[in-house]
Amino acid sequence: MIVFIVTLALLWLPINLLLMRLIGGPVQVGPLRIQDAPTIFPLVALYGIFIALLRWWGKRVHGESQPLRYYGWIWTRLQRKRLVAGLILGYGSVLLMYLIQSFLGWVVWNEPTKPLLPLIIEGGVMSILLGLVEELLFRGWMLGELRRDYSPWVSMWVGSGIFALLHCLRPWHESGQGFALLLLGAGLCLARGAGRGWPDGIGIHGAWSG
């Protein structure tokens, strides 16, 4: 697992440095102006390299003829419906939370400083992409690798702990998110084990991260 992560970092680092030199501000892509291009483009490159490396890893290391399918990337009509349901649940819960906080006087609404429609499109696309790649990483590849050496129960909590730690940039007692992220990761693992978690998880994960 460490070899995979180091290889991913070595492949991405020179591309990231190149993009940092080439992109210094917003980028116009057709009618859409990507405001946070210096951040988004390196992430897109990282996601692309990760998926390509994952395909190679599954074939060469584990002998899987369809590595992405092995790690759970299976798109059927039912799963597409679950993805939409996950997005509705995720965005709906976020909207409900803000409405409650606004009703209690905890939120002050401000006028957007940038055009609203491009922000919605940019944020929506990136949140879904982020949810897809992170579910493929944590509930696909990482969970699969851990289960080769540990029991499903140990794999679930170790993977959920790594998921929580990587999302907490500050100490748990300061961020207040560590335990919630641990439970979220465990819940998505359980859902994956029940044959559901992928599309639902991508939708919920993407909505909450957006």
Residue 135 has pLDDT above 80, yes or no: yes
Can you give the pLDDT at residue 169? 58
Contact 196, 76 (CB under 8 A): no
pLDDT band at 72 (very low <50, low <70, confident <90, very high): confident
Inter-CA distances, 17 with 5, 38, 40, Å: 18, 11, 14
pTM of the shown model = 0.73
Can you give the pLDDT at residue 198? 63
pLDDT in tens, 149-187: 889 899 999 988 988 887 775 554 445 577 878 888 887
DSSP-H helix ranges across the chain: 2-22, 37-60, 67-70, 77-103, 116-135, 143-147, 152-167, 172-175, 178-193, 197-209
Contact 80, 200 (CB under 8 A): no
What stretch of H or E contains 41? helix 37-60
pLDDT band at 86 (very low <50, low <70, confident <90, very high): confident
